[in-house]
Amino acid sequence: MIEHAVLETSRLLLRPLALSDTLAIQKTAGAREIADTMISLPHPYPAGGAERYVALQQAERDTGRSVTFTIKQKAEEEFCGLVEVRDIDRTHSQGELSFWLAVEAWGHGYMSEVVQAVVQYGFENLDLNRLYAYHMLRNPASGRVLEKNGFKQEGLLRQRVRKWGQFEDVLLWATLRQEWQDELDK
């Protein structure tokens, strides 16, 4: 089981996902613009999808395979997205970083703050050695967030996913604990 933690950035609060988040998730994840850039987010977002998602994420946290944070703006206490470290593999000390923001939160640099905090949490609290992330090639904004936070592009996965009837190329990025530590020591 992964312990509950609250992370803070200068403008944001990242707290453990809770059942009380379902209404905000259901409303926000229903935006076509969000689903368009997410590999596994459906559109339209199905009724009851948020409840199923929260229940699944809580079960995954209880088994130590995932941790999900709700992203909120400190000033307005507004829900603005989710970030998770999932598919945690203790044998190989790695996990996948996944994230999305509400459309109205785009372009403010929030996700860079979030990723920085979650990378630190992944290495210091989850004791991971490697964090990796995927994004569709046509979503370069996610790549910029990852690169800004020390991730290095490891490869192009050609036609890895099918999104709305079209095969999409996906980029794989990763960062290692030692690389992260070296940056802190500079």
Q: Please list the ranges in the chain whose pLDDT falls under 70.
A: none
pLDDT at position 153, please? 98
Q: What pLDDT is stored for residue 2 in this prediction?
A: 79
Identify which of 39, 11, 14, 1 has the alpha carbon closest to the alpha carbon of residue 120: 14
All structural domains of the chain, each given as residue ranges with its CATH number in brackets, are 7-185 (3.40.630.30)
Residue 80 burial (C-beta neighbours within 10 Å; 0-12, 13-18, 19+): buried
- Residue 103: its pLDDT value, please? 94
Q: Do 59 and 6 form a contact (C-beta atoms < 8 A)?
A: no
CB atoms within 10 A of CB 19: 10
Residue-level pLDDT at 42: 84
Tens-digit pLDDT profile for residues 124-147: 999 999 999 999 999 999 999 999
- What's residue 63's pLDDT? 95
Q: Determine the pLDDT at residue 40.
A: 83
